[in-house]
Amino acid sequence: MPVTTAVLLFLAGFLSSAVNAVAGGGTFLTFGAMTLAGLPPIVANATSSIVQFPGYITSALAYRRELIADRRMAVMLGLLSAVGGLIGAAILLALSNPSFRALVPWLLLGATAIFAGAPLLRPASREAGAPLGVLGLLGQFATSIYGGFFGAGMGIMMLAVLGLSAGGGYHRINALKNLLAVIIAAIAVVVFTFGGVVSWLEAAVMIPGGALGGYSGVWLARRVPQAVIRAFVIAVGLLLAFYYFVTG
pTM of the shown model: 0.80
Q: Which H or E run contains 40?
A: none
Give residue-wise pLDDT tens across range 55-99: 778 777 877 887 888 788 888 889 999 999 999 999 999 988 888
pLDDT surpasses 60 at 125:
no
Name the maximum alpha-carbon separation found in the chain: 54
Question: How many residues appear in the chain?
Answer: 248
User: Phi, psi at residue 39, to the nearest 5°?
Assistant: -75, 145
User: Phi, psi at residue 42, to the nearest 5°?
Assistant: -65, -40
**Helix/strand/coil percentages in the chain, nearest 5:** 85, 0, 15
- CA dist., res. 44 & res. 112, Å (int): 18
* Alpha helices by DSSP H, the chain: 3-22, 26-36, 41-61, 64-69, 71-94, 97-116, 133-149, 154-165, 170-194, 200-223, 226-247
Which pLDDT value is given to residue 200? 93
CB-facing half-sphere around the CA of 239: CA atoms within 13 A:
13
- Of 224, 178, 243, nearest in space to 44 by CA: 243
What angle separates helix 26-36 from helix 97-116, to the nearest 10 degrees?
150
- Of 63, 21, 32, nearest in space to 206 by CA: 32
- CA dist., res. 191 & res. 198, Å (int): 10
Provide, rounded to the nearest whole percent, the portion of the chain with pLDDT above 90: 17
Query: How much is the mean pLDDT over the chain?
Result: 81
pLDDT surpasses 90 at 150:
no
Which pLDDT value is given to residue 104? 82
Lowest mean pLDDT among 19-23, 77-81, 110-114, 184-188: 19-23
More confident residue, 37 or 230: 37
Which pLDDT value is given to residue 193? 92
